Amino acid sequence: MSKVTKLLITKLAGVLDPVQKNLAVDVWDEKQKLRPELKDQIMRHIANIIPRQDIMGVYILGSITGYKYTETSDIDVNIFARNYDPSMREKANQVNGFHSYGGRHPVNLFISEYKDKLPNWQDAVFGVYNVLKNDWEMIPPGRENFRDPQLEFKMEIDLASSIARQFTDKVEKVKTDVHSLNKLKKFKWAIPGLSNWYYKKKRNKIKDQLTDLAVMAQGLEDDRKFEYAWGWGTPRKNFRNIVYKLIEHGPHGELFLKLEKIDLPNQFGDEIQNKYRYKYATYRPTQNDKATYIFNKLKTRQ
Q: Give how many domains the chain has, as a whole number.
A: 2
104 CB-contact burial (10 Å; exposed 0-12 / middle 13-18 / buried 19+): exposed
Asked whether residue 56 is domain-assigned, the answer is yes
Asked whether residue 98 is domain-assigned, the answer is yes
Please tell me the distance from the alpha carbon of residue 142 to that of residue 184, in angstroms, as a whole number: 62
Percent of the chain whose predicted confidence (pLDDT) is above 70: 68
Q: Which domain holds residue 43?
A: 19-145
Total residue count of the chain as it appears in this document: 302
Asked whether residue 82 is domain-assigned, the answer is yes
pLDDT value of residue 265: 54
225 contact partners, CB below 8 Å, separation of at least 6: none
- Same structural domain, 160 and 261: yes
Q: Which of 145, 162, 189 is the last residue of a domain?
A: 145
pLDDT one-digit tens code per residue, 231-247? 444 444 566 677 777 78
Q: Which of 88, 112, 145 is the last residue of a domain?
A: 145
pLDDT value of residue 191: 67
- Same structural domain, 158 and 272: yes
- Same structural domain, 157 and 264: yes
pLDDT one-digit tens code per residue, 81-103? 999 999 999 999 999 999 999 88
Q: Are 64 and 73 in contact (CB under 8 A)?
A: yes
Asked whether residue 1 is domain-assigned, the answer is no
101 CB-contact burial (10 Å; exposed 0-12 / middle 13-18 / buried 19+): middle
Please tell me the distance from the alpha carbon of residue 263 to that of residue 280, in angstroms, as a whole number: 8
- Same structural domain, 169 and 206: yes
End-to-end CA distance of the chain: 31
- The CATH number assigned to the domain holding 125 equals 3.30.460
Q: How far from the centroid of its chain's Cα atoms is residue 22's Cα?
A: 26
pLDDT one-digit tens code per residue, 6-58? 333 333 445 556 788 899 999 999 999 999 999 999 999 999 999 999 999 99
* 289: confidence class by pLDDT, cuts 50, 70, 90: very low
128 contact partners, CB below 8 Å, separation of at least 6: 59, 60, 61, 65, 121, 136, 137, 138
Q: Which of 145, 162, 190 is the last residue of a domain?
A: 145
Assign 3-class secondary structure to the chain: CCHHHHHHHCCCCHHHCCECCCCCCCCECCCCCECHHHHHHHHHHHHCCCCHHHEEEEEEECHHHCCECCCCCCEEEEEEECCCCHHHHHHHHHHCCEECCCCCCEEEEEEEECECECCCCCCCCCCEEECCCCEEEECCCCHHHCCCHHHHCHHHHHHHHHHHHHHHHHHHHHHHHHHHHHHHCCCCCCCCCHHHHHHHHHHHHHHHHHHHHHHHHHHHHHHHHHHHCCCCCCCCCCHHHHHHHHHHCCCCHHHHHHHCCCCHHHHCCHHHHHHCCCCCCCCCCCCCCHHHHHHHHHHHCC
Of residues 107 and 11, more confidently modeled: 107
pLDDT value of residue 145: 67
Asked whether residue 10 is domain-assigned, the answer is no
pLDDT one-digit tens code per residue, 165-211? 888 898 899 888 888 877 777 776 666 677 777 778 888 888 888 88
